[in-house]
Amino acid sequence: MKTSVAILLAAFSSIAFAEPPASGGLGIEHLPKDLKPPVGKAISDKDLKSRQQGEKFGGFAKAGTEPQGWDLEKNSEFITFEGAVTLVPKGSILHIPDRYRANVVSAMKGNFMLWSEFSARYRGLVGSFEVSMPEASGETEIKPERLEVARKTGLILVGTLNHNPISVTKRTPPANAAAPSAR
């Protein structure tokens, strides 16, 4: 037992006192020999503070006007069921079956639930329709057959990205696209 401990101590002490490898690139000895000091005069804290105060950005708002805030209720749609309500961004609801039209409302009335809780509790009412970022931005079109299959579930379809509701912009054809010819 004593010899094995002695051997281990000898091994660890030789590792501890060994020279570091020359190729590590750490330390002042690895800096180039012809390195020049920084050029220019160092700025004091007082001068820097006064310069920052002089260069502050005032914003794009016109003088004397109150900036408009972002209104959550104006930019949301609400889905309600059994006294519970959740909000989703405008444009995220892709399909509402006729029987659930009354469940999509314009104001928050009821006990608020986060989307994750609401969609899990009322999975017979709402369904997530996962979209990619190009589909959400309108850069690429959602395949019509994919959307049609999802509509057949009979649920309120909410466009989601990574399981979170997202506004989905409808893709419009470019202005220079030729109209399909009739055959």
Domain-embedded: residue 126: yes
Position 53 confidence tier, pLDDT thresholds 50, 70, 90 = confident
* Number of structural domains the chain divides into: 1
Whether 106 has a pLDDT exceeding 90, the answer reads no
Question: Mean pLDDT throughout 157-163?
Answer: 94
Domain-embedded: residue 46: no
pTM for the whole thing? 0.58
Domain-embedded: residue 153: yes
Whether 178 has a pLDDT exceeding 90, the answer reads no
Query: 84 with 122: CB under 8 angstroms?
Result: yes
Domain-embedded: residue 149: yes
Position 181 confidence tier, pLDDT thresholds 50, 70, 90 = very low
Domain-embedded: residue 158: yes
Q: Which domain holds residue 134?
A: 76-165
Domain-embedded: residue 3: no
Domain-embedded: residue 161: yes
Domain-embedded: residue 120: yes
What residues contact 93, with CB distance under 8 A and at least 6 apart? 77, 79, 104, 156, 157, 158, 159
